[in-house]
Each structure stands twice: as structure tokens, then as C-alpha cells.
Amino acid sequence: MMDSSARPSNVIEAPMRDIYTVSRLNLEARRLVESGFPPLWVEGEISNLARPRSGHLYFSLKDDRCQVRCAMFRMQNRHLEFEPDNGMQVLAQVRVSLYPERGEFQLIAHYLEEAGAGALRRAFEALKQRLGNEGLFDDEAKQPIPRVPACIGILTSPTGAALRDILTVMRRRFPGVHAILYPVPVQGSGAAARIAEMLERVAARAECDVLVLARGGGSIEDLWCFNEERVARAIHRCPIPLVTGIGHETDFTIADFVADRRAPTPSAAAEMITPDALQWRDDLERARLRLGRTMRRSIEERRARLNLLRRALPDPRRRVQDLSQRLDGLLARGQRALLRTAERRRDTLRALLSRLHGQAPATVVRAYRIRAGVLRSRLVRCMQYALETRRAQIRSLQRALAAVGPQQTLDRGYAIVSRQRDGKVLRDAAQVEPGEPIEARLARGRLEGTVTGRRPS
């Protein structure tokens, strides 16, 4: 028999056992799961949908092989734009988590949309953003719509209701306008390529003044050919102004943003580009009446002005006499003016001659000689005065120097003693050493000697 104290061979002995509770295990597992996955997009089919009174949604997402539990709380699902139901294919933005109370792996959904339409809407927004950044929607790129087009081109299906609506509106508003149908498919595979090719062909033929791209209403899938990039770029390149009338009033496509004008429906597009014949007739009649009134008023004004001019026109013979008399007066005034001018010129000439005589070279030289003699006399007097002043100053300085000079001191019996080696004047007995040669300057002559001793004063 086996001993009860024996351990299985696969049990690891450790000094301490870190024993997990189920709660701790599930909580740590949830932390690992939530930190290991970023937010994800998951597509699948809804099943096991439950709507408790709390307002939360609980359901499973499955594909043909697996399924996973999901929860969407009330704060997020109140913004849903559709009603989720079992069997519905959806696209969910989720956060991976684990429900610790039951240890169940689950997804927490933050956003939910139908898979097909949602993908199309995302593609629509992405293309719209990209083309908008390139400038395809800018107002500067849009062309004006002609007021009275001679020919209108219609790009639509020849069997659709949109063509009938457009032609009905055109016949009602302006029967004389010419229209050309350019048949294109407006739905299904290959429709976008056919529309782009037809736009290039229409631009090359240049038969129309304005184009209408139209079709009736439908789902986003039905209208998707008008959201293709090649159609948008073909519209942008088209040199002919283009108006879109696609779907209903709430339908917007990429073609609507690129087009020069957008109408909410095909009928509205026809009204936008077709002038109203009745309105034009009324405007023409009003313009005719205004023109008639303006012409009559202008004729009356010109007739009255002609009468005034006729009355104001003088007799030509009297006019000639007046002009002749005026000419005689002008001649007399001219002669007098010439005489006065000549007299003024003679006076000016006399003044100039007088000034010229005063500025003759002999006169100028004589004046400068007189002025030079005066200046020379003034200069001599100034120099003599300056010399006398400087001599007096020098004599005064000599007397002051003689009074304080060293010679006067020497004459009184004093001597100036200096060292022979450097000629420095001695003022203190401590400046020399016994035995050092010295020199004494007297009032007359010099003495040389040697210091034999020193005595302090």
C-alpha cells in the first residue's frame, strides 16, 4: 500500500504556494485580455439577441464556424441608426474583455452598423474626403450654367422615368430648346465606366451648352455608380457645365459634389437649366413697354432741346461783326502789350548795363586794392600790438623766474648736493652711505667729494 504522506511525482514542492481564488483568476485574466487587444472591428451575424429592461443589448456574433458573446450598453446603443435583429449582418467596433462572474470571453460593442451599407458609407466618406482635399469640390472649379442654352445633353437611361420627367419639364417650360440623349446605364456593374466614357465622348463632340446627369431614386447600392472615383474625375474634367439630378432630395452622391450645380431630382434639374417661356414672354413684354416709354421720353427731350438751341442760335452776320470788332480790340491790346513789353525790356537792359559797369574788372581790381591796403594797415597794427604784449609777458615771466629760480638760492650761499652715480639730488643724509662719492653745485662752480660720515638732523 502507498504511504498517505507520499506526494505525486508531478507536484512541485515550493516553500510558499501562491493560491488563486476563482475571482482573482478571472480578474487577472480580464486584465490580460483587455490589455492584449486594441479596439477592433468585427463583422458577423446577430443571434441570441436579448433586450432586458436595463436597456442593454446582449447578443452573439457568429460566422459559419464560430461565435462570440457580445454586450452593448444603453449609453452606446441609444445612438443606433437601425433596429438590430437576429440574422442581421452587422459591423461592430468592440473592445475585447472577459465577464469575470461567469468566466466568459466577450466583446463590449461601442458602435454598430449594418455591414453592407456601413461599408459603402465608409467608402463614400473616404472618397469624399480625398477628392475634397484635392480641390474637386471647390467653388473656383465650378462653371456657370448658361441662362438660355441652345442645346441640352441628357445622360441617363433611355428607359428610365428620369428621362420622361426631364423631357416633360422641358416641353412645358421652353418647347423650342433642343435636347440630345446620351444613353448610359445608371445602375449595376460597369455603369460607372460607361458614364465616364460617355462624358469624355460628349466633351469631344462639343454639341451641347449644358449637360444633365440624372436617374431616379434608389438605395445607396443602386446609386453607387455615381459614387465611383472615375465618374467624379470625368465630371471634373468635362469642359461643359453639368447639373446632376440623382435620386430624391435627401440623396447625395460624389457626383453631386463635383458637378457645377446639384438639383434634388431629375425634374428639378430640368427646371434649373431650362428657361421658363411664359416668364420670358412676360419679361419681354415688360421690356418692350419700358423701351417704348424710354424712346418716347428721349424723343420729347431731344425735340425740346432742339427748340431751345434754335431760339438761342444768333444771326450769323451779327456773329461775324461781333467777331471782327473783337479782333480789332485784340490787335490794339496786342500792340499796347508789345510796347509795354519793349519798354520793360529797355529798362531791364539799362539796369543790367549799370550793374555790368560796376562789375568791370578794372573797377573790381581797384576796389580790391583799396581794401587790401586797409587790411594790410590793420594787420601791421595788430601784429605790433601782439608783439608788444608778448614781450611784456616774457619780461614779467623772466622776473618771476629769477625770483624763484635755483640760481638765486645758490647766490645766497646754498649748494645743491647730488650722488655722482645717478645724479639724484640729496634731501636726506640717509640717501647716501659713508665713502660714496657726491657732487655739490655752488653759485659758481662745482665741488666733488666723498662722504666721511652721517649725522641725523
Q: 116 and 159, same structural domain?
A: no
pLDDT at res. 328: 79
Q: Which residues contact 402 (CB under 8 A, 6 or more apart)?
A: 408
Q: 88 and 148, same structural domain?
A: no
- Take residue 103 and report the three cell numbers written for it: 468566466
pLDDT at res. 181: 94
Q: What is the mean pLDDT of each run of 10 residues along the chain (457 residues)?
A: 50 68 88 88 90 91 91 87 84 90 90 74 84 90 90 92 91 88 90 93 93 86 88 93 89 90 92 83 84 90 85 72 79 87 87 77 81 90 91 87 75 83 84 87 85 80
d(CA 352, CA 365): 20
Q: 86 and 168, same structural domain?
A: no
pLDDT at res. 2: 45
Task: Choose among 172, 251, 244: nearest CA to 212.
Answer: 244
Q: Are 253 and 186 in contact (CB under 8 A)?
A: no
Q: 275, 309, 329 — which closes off a domain?
A: 275
Question: Three-state SS for 317?
Answer: helix
Q: 147 and 111, same structural domain?
A: no
Q: Are 179 and 212 in contact (CB under 8 A)?
A: no
- Take residue 294 and report the three cell numbers written for it: 424710354
Range of the domain at 113: 22-120
Rg (C-alpha) for the chain, rounded Å, is: 61
Q: 260, 275, 290 — which closes off a domain?
A: 275
Domain tally, the chain: 2
Q: Is residue 442 part of a domain?
A: no
pLDDT at res. 61: 92
Task: Provide the phi-psi class of 164: left if phi over 0, else alpha when psi is between -120 and 50, else beta.
Answer: alpha
Q: Are 202 and 240 in contact (CB under 8 A)?
A: yes
Residue 115: which CATH number? 2.40.50.140
